[in-house]
Amino acid sequence: MVATVLLPASLQPFAAGRREHEVAGRDVGELLARLAERFPPLRARLFHETGGLRGYLVVLIEDQDIRALGGLAAPVPPDAVVTILPAVAGGWS
């Protein structure tokens, strides 16, 4: 399925300076892996060495957090908009 991936400003410099990317993939993991194939500097910024999504990022399919949809295994519907955001977090520690 072809989806539109929207990158946050912090990742756009590693993806030709663009926010929107059309990418094909059956699930979110495949989608992001193909995006990283196209822009290799993205790989380490999206994935851990073990292949998991980095914890400081949140990925949403339309208005749903993929953590509630199976994580990287979440299926990508046709023409979906997949948004990547940095998690906004902090605290006293």
Partner 1 sequence: MNASFAEDGAVLRAIALDAERTYPCEGCGIVVQRGRVARAIALANVHAAPERHFEIEPVGLLRALRAAEQEGEVLVAIFHSHPEGRARLSREDLARARMPDGSPAFPGVLQVVVSVRGALARELAVFEPVEAGASSPERIRAWRPPAASAPGRTDGRVRKVRLTPTDASER
60 binds partner 1 (CB under 8 A): yes
Report the SS3 class of residue 59. strand
CB of 78 to partner 1, least distance (A): 20
How many residues in the shown chain lie near partner 1 by CB under 8 A? 21
CB of 6 to partner 1, least distance (A): 9
83 binds partner 1 (CB under 8 A): yes
**C-beta of 2 vs 10, nearer to partner 1:** 10
Calpha distance 88→31 (Å, rounded): 23
Calpha distance 23→49 (Å, rounded): 22
Sign of CA dihedral 30, 74, 82, 14: negative
Nearest to 60 by CA among 40, 35, 31, 89: 31
45 binds partner 1 (CB under 8 A): yes
**C-beta of 24 vs 41, nearer to partner 1:** 41
Question: Would you tell me which residues interact with partner 1 (CB under 8 A)?
Answer: 8-10, 45, 54, 56, 58, 60, 63-65, 83, 85-93
